[in-house]
């Protein structure tokens, strides 16, 4: 398992992108993407070894509503894993329930991702290794 990025939920992607690039010196990594299956639009930004993913909900999607309504910006921590199913089982034993089953993600070239929710409501994104 390898740490990949921190996901940040936002109401307006472009506003947050301007803030992170202007105030903190982050640089865009790739193009902005839209993922209808996940219900989001997003982009990655990097600064040195740090990578964040800014995500906003697509019109009609409630994917981020629970976090934004509570004022949480940190949406998830993401890890790249060798065996997606085995890692889901491992996290289940550690009381993290499967919140979104494995499905292909545009941001990762169709590699599957899954989300597990810890008892403290923090989401963990699991990204299938290439």
pLDDT digits (tens, 9 = 90+) for 21-60: 999 999 999 999 999 999 999 999 999 999 999 999 999 9
Alpha carbons within 13 A on the beta-carbon side of 69: 5
Q: Which fold has domain 2-128?
A: 2,3-Dihydroxybiphenyl 1,2-Dioxygenase; domain 1 (3.10.180)
Mean pLDDT, rounded, for 71-99: 94
Residues 6+ apart with CB under 8 A from 35: 41, 42, 105, 106, 107
Rounded to the nearest integer, the mean pLDDT of the chain is 95
By CB neighbour count within 10 A (0-12 exposed, 13-18 middle, 19+ buried), where does 93 fall?
exposed
Block residue for tokens 């963990």: 124
Extents of the domains making up the chain: 2-128
Confidence grade of residue 121 (pLDDT, cut at 50, 70, 90): confident
Q: What was the pLDDT predicted at 70?
A: 87
**Proportion of the chain above pLDDT 90, given as a percent:** 89
């Amino acid at each position: 398992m390898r740490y990949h990025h921190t996901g940040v939920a936002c109401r307006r992607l472009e506003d947050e992108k301007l803030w992170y690039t202007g105030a903190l010196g982050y640089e865009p990594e790739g193009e902005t993407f839209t993922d209808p299956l996940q219900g989001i639009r997003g982009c990655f930004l990097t600064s040195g070894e740090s990578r964040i993913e800014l995500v906003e909900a697509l019109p009609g999607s409630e994917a981020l509503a629970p976090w934004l309504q509570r004022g949480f910006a940190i949406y998830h921590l993401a890890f790249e894993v060798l065996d997606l199913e085995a890692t889901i089982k491992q996290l289940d034993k550690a009381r993290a329930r499967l919140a979104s089953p494995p499905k292909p993600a545009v941001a990762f070239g169709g590699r599957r991702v899954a989300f597990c929710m810890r008892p403290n409501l923090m989401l963990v994104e699991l990204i299938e290794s290439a």
